[in-house]
Amino acid sequence: MSEQPAHPTSDTTHRLAEPAPPCAIVIFGASGDLTHRLLMPALYNLSRWKLLPDKMAILGIGRTDMDSKELREDFTKTIEGFVADKTAEFSVDKIDQDAWSRVVNTIEYVDGDISDPKLYDEIKAEIDKFSKKGVGCNVLFYLAVAAKLFGPVVVNLAKAGLMKEEDNYWRRVIIEKPFGHDYQSAVALDKQILEVVSESQVFRIDHFLGKETVQNIMALRFGNGFFEPIWNRDHVDHVQITVSETVGVEKRGSFYEATGALRDMVPNHLFQLFTLTAMEPPASFDADAVRDRKEDALRATHHMSREDAQRFAVRGQYTRGKVRDKDVNDYRAEPDVDPKSQTETYVALRLTIDNWRWAGVPFYLRTGKSMAKRKTEIAIRFKQAPLSIFKDTPVDEPIDNWLILNIQPDEGITWQFGAKVPGPHVQLEAVNMKFSYKDFFKVQPSTGYETLIYDAMYGDATLFQRADNIEEGWKIVQPLLDTWKAGKPPLAMYEAGSAGPKEADELLARDGRKWRPL
C-alpha cells in the first residue's frame, strides 16, 4: 500500500502563497478595540505565515494622545495578553517574537481629528517617508472607526489626493460593518463614497467571510460531484441558518439600542451565509463572477410586504436568566438601555427564493444574544425517503437526513443519515459522520481577518461585498425595519440562556417543521 500524504496544516498551506506586494497600511482607529483585538493578531499571523510584504509600514491614526513608541508598547502588551486569555477569539500558547517584531517595528503613529484636513497632510507626509524608505506607494487604508465616519474619511482621503492611483501603484480602503443603517442610508453612503473613488478601490469587509468553513461552502458545493446535483428543490426540504451568541449586550448598550439584532447581523453575516448557500455556480472564482451570482440570489429572494413582515418574522428580547450557570440581567436593565426598550436582541426569519433551484424551499434564519449556546451553522435538511420498502418492519418513520456546515466554534461538516441497528430486526437509527477542520488540517489560531487583509493587499475582492450586494440586502430587510418601528408584531420575550422565544418555534411549526436544538 502506498504511503498516505500527511494532512496539510495551515502553516504549510500558507507557505504555498506568496508574500503580499510592498505597501503601507494606514489604520484609522488604531487605539481602538477592533485594532487591538483582531487586526493586530491578524497581522501577527500573516507575519508568522510569511505572507506580509517584505517591505511594509503601518501607520496608526487616532485621537489618543500618545507617541509611536507608546502605541507599539500598547500593542505588544495586548498580543502578549492573548497567551493567558483562553477565552479570546485569538489565543496562543506562546508568541513568536521574530514574527511579532516584523509587525511592531514598522508601526508609526499620528494623532489628530479625522475631520481636520490638516491630519491628511500629515498622513501624506508619512506615506512619502515610507516610500523613500523603499516601501513604495501602494497604500491600504483600514477604517476601524464608527460607521458615521466612513463617508467623511473616504472623502477627506480623496480630497487630499491620497486615493489617486497612478504609475502602477494602488490605493484601497477597507470599510467595516455596519455599512448603512437602512436601505436609504446604505444607498446614500455608496453614492458618497463612489463619487470620489472607484468600486475597485472599496473593500467592504465582513469577517465571517474570512472563516475557513464559510470559504469552504463554495469548495464543498462546486468542487465535489456528489453535492451540487442534490443542492436544489428536488432534494432539499428546507435550510436553517443559525448564528447564536451566549454574550449579551455587555457594555455596548448605547450602540445596541440604536442598532438591534436585525441591523447588526442580518444584512451582513447571515446574508453572506444565505447567499453562499443559495447562489448558482459562478463561471469562475473571479471576484465579480462570484458576487454576480450572490446578487442574483438576493434579487430572487421574495421581498416581504408589511403583512409578511408580521407573519414570517419574529423579533425577541432577552429577559433575566442564566447563561452557562451565570446570572444574566434583563436586557432593559443593562447600562445605557431604555427601561422600556423595544430593541430586538433576537431575530428569526422565513425567506423564500423565487427561482428554479429553490422555488418552494423555505430558508429559516435566526440570530440572538444571551442564548443557550454559541453556535454558527448552516443546516440543510433533505427530503424524506419513501418508506414502502420497510413495510412489515418496525420502521415506521424515516430518519432525518441533514448536511450541517459547522462554522463556529468548532469548524467542520457533519452528515446525519439512517443506519440499521445491529440485530435480527430491521431498525434504523440516526448516525453522524463528522469532519473536523482542527483534526484534519491542524488549524492554527486565527481571527478570520488574515485572509481578508491579505486578499485586499493583493486586490482580490472575492470575499468582500459589492455596493449592489449591500443595497439589495438592505432592501430585503427594509419592510421589517418599517413594520417593527410601528410596533408590529410585539416583542417576543425569551429567557437568557434559552433557545429563543416560543414565537420562533411557532414560525416553523406552522410549516410542520422545528428548529434544530442548540
Catalytic residue ranges: 269
Q: Provide the b/e sequence for 171-193 (b: ≥16 CB within 10 Å).
A: bbbbbbbbbbbbbebbbebbeeb
| Of 346, 140, 175, the residue nearest 256 (C-alpha) | 346
Q: Where are the beta strands (DSSP E) in 357-487?
A: 363-368, 375-382, 402-408, 412-420, 428-436
- Going from the C-alpha of 325 to that of each of 246, 322, 391, 460, the distances in angstroms are 11, 5, 47, 44
Q: Provide the b/e sequence for 436-456 (b: ≥16 CB within 10 Å).
A: ebeeebebbebbbbbbbbbbb
Are 491 and 344 in contact by the 8 Å Cβ rule? The answer is yes
* CA–CA distance, 294 with 286 (Å, rounded to integer): 13
* CA–CA distance, 220 with 216 (Å, rounded to integer): 6
Maximum separation of any 2 CA atoms in the chain, in Å: 84
C-alpha cell at 354: 423565487
C-alpha cell at 32: 481602538
C-alpha cell at 194: 463612489
Which alpha helices (DSSP H) does 286-394 contain, by range? Answer: 287-300, 306-311
* CA–CA distance, 408 with 5 (Å, rounded to integer): 28
Amino acid at 19: P
Distance in angstroms between the alpha carbons of the first and the last residue of the chain: 43
* CA–CA distance, 435 with 518 (Å, rounded to integer): 19
* CA–CA distance, 387 with 371 (Å, rounded to integer): 37
Are 22 and 58 in contact by the 8 Å Cβ rule? The answer is no
The residue assigned the cell 486615493 is 163
Backbone torsion region of residue 34, taken as left when φ is above 0, otherwise alpha when ψ lies between -120 and 50, otherwise beta: alpha
| Of 438, 493, 499, the residue nearest 7 (C-alpha) | 438
